[in-house]
Amino acid sequence: MHAVVLVGGFGTRLRPLTYSIPKPLLPVAHTSMLERLMNSLARGGVTHAVLALGFKPEPFMAAFPKDMCGSVQLSYAVEDTPLDTAGAIGFAARTAGISETFVVANGDVLTDLDIASLISFHRQHGAEGTISLTPVSDPSQYGIVETDENGRVLRFVEKPQPGMTTSNFASAGTYVLEPSALVRMPGDQKLSIERVVFPQMVADQSLFAMWSNDYWIDAGRPDTFIEANVHVSKRSAQATDAPIHPTATVSASAVIIDSVIGENATVLDGAQIRHSVLLPGAQIGQGAVVIDSLVMGKVGANSQVTNSIIGSTGVVGDNEVCNNASVPAHDPAQVPEKSPEKSPE
């Protein structure tokens, strides 16, 4: 079974971390989101995956030098300009020569969903496409799906405004598609599967959806990225998922609560890390307090960092207070963006 894995977005909501590492390569309990996703696809029978790439393709190729991720054989489709979700699927599926039923997965989703059961549901219903659904408490952040009692999709609304739908079943960002669906996705221009292709399939009554209560999280936002890290490190019995990486240096007088401390990170005496993620190489000075934050760079002694994201080149000086901040605010490698036009996330 082939899969198209969408990993070409800019990771806007996780900036400035994504200035240096593309979102799917960021670690969740020390293993990249993409590796975790790929393992789950492999368990469901996926043997080949084409990575639909755009923004920063090189780090993906460097991460998998033998073009293998576990047992999955990788190939790459690199877009010249962002094609959005359906454009990317059309382009990647053609690049990989996909001609049979295939799986599509958003690259920032962590789930225990049994993909094999989604595939058999799809076949039983003779569907053109089948979406995996998960219940959510905040429908406005997702693609929301209404179905009939047989699982046929009656409506797909991407990021609904309040009052637009009463459903709280979100598209979980994993689909099974027939190759015939590619006719709807030429792959030569920007096209959204959520806003254009799914509504067309709904009109043709060929789209189905399967609900599951399995663990699921889209780790693409700061709050969910922290939650995914904390959750996976707490519930996993595997030593490699433990909250503190064995190469991290954490002072015995530091307080670490509901947090993940990455490879080679340092936490000096008396520092407190609460509900936060320290990414590989992060440095936290003596007595610093880090709460609800993501840190890749340096936090000075006795500083307070709350609800902030500190990128790889970010530095919070000694005795500073940093609330709701992104440091640095702009990509140091780029000239500041001129156009406020919406870019893929």
What residues are annotated to the active site?
Answer: 159
**Using the rule CB under 6 A, which residue among 109, 207, 228, 310 binds ligand GDD?**
109
* Residue with Cβ nearer Mg ion (108 or 178): 108
Report how far residue 278's alpha carbon sits from residue 248's, in angstroms, rounded to the nearest whole number.
Answer: 10
Applying CB under 6 A, among 19, 60, 64, 142 the residue interacting with ligand GDD is: 142
Give which of 257, 233, 262 is closest to 246, Cα–Cα: 262
| Binder of ligand GDD out of 19, 102, 108, 243 (CB under 6 A) | 108
| Rounded Cα–Cα distance for residues 131 and 155 (Å) | 12
Residue 150, both tokens: 């047989």
With binding defined as CB under 5 A, does residue 220 bind Mg ion? yes
Q: How far is CA 334 from CA 18, 21, 78, 310, 329, in A?
A: 13, 15, 21, 17, 12
Angle at which helix 33-43 crosses helix 115-124, to 10 degrees, equals 50
The distance of closest approach from Cβ of residue 9 to Mg ion in the complex, given in angstroms and rounded to an integer, is: 8
Please say which residue, 108 or 128, places its beta carbon nearer to ligand GDD. 108
Query: Which of 90, 143, 199, 314 touches ligand GDD by CB under 6 A?
Result: 143
Given 151, 199, 297, 344, the residue binding ligand GDD (CB under 6 A): 344
Rounded CA gap, 267 and 184, in Å?
52
d(Cα 230, Cα 332) in Å, to the nearest integer?
A: 29
Cβ atoms within 10 Å of 2's Cβ, excluding its own: 22
Query: How many amino acids of this chain bind ligand GDD (CB under 6 A)?
Result: 28
Q: Kindly tell me which residue out of 86, 88, 96, 119 binds ligand GDD, with binding defined by CB under 6 A.
A: 88
Kindly state the smallest distance separating residue 108's Cβ from Mg ion, in Å: 4
82/152 Cα distance (integer angstroms): 31
Options 69, 83, 157, 296; binder of ligand GDD; rule CB under 6 A:
83
Complex with ligand GDD: residue 203 or 239, whichever CB lies closer: 203
In the complex, minimum distance from the CB of residue 217 to ligand GDD, in angstroms, rounded to a whole number: 9
44 contact choice in ligand GDD, Mg ion, none (CB below 5 to 8 Å, kind-dependent): none
Site for ligand GDD contains 157 (CB under 6 A):
no
Q: Which residues of 134-159 are buried (b: 16+ CB within 10 A; e: fewer)?
A: bebeebeebbbbbbeeebbbeebbbe
Q: Which of residues 4-23 bind ligand GDD (CB under 6 A)?
A: 6-9
Q: How many residues does the chain have?
A: 345
Q: Which residues, numbered 79-108, are part of the site for Mg ion (CB under 5 A)? A: 108
In the complex, minimum distance from the CB of residue 275 to ligand GDD, in angstroms, rounded to a whole number: 22
- C-alpha 60/C-alpha 323 separation (Å) is 32
Q: Please, which residue, 102 or 142, has the CB nearer to ligand GDD?
A: 142
Query: Would you call 87 helix, strand, or coil by DSSP?
Result: helix
Q: Are 44 and 132 in contact (CB under 8 A)?
A: no
Q: Which of residues 189-208 bind ligand GDD (CB under 6 A)?
A: 194
Q: Is 243 in the site for ligand GDD (CB under 6 A)?
A: no
Q: List contacts with Mg ion (CB under 5 A).
A: 108, 218, 220
Binding site for ligand GDD (CB under 6 A): 6-9, 52-54, 79, 82-85, 88, 106-109, 142-143, 158, 170-171, 173, 194, 218, 220, 344-345
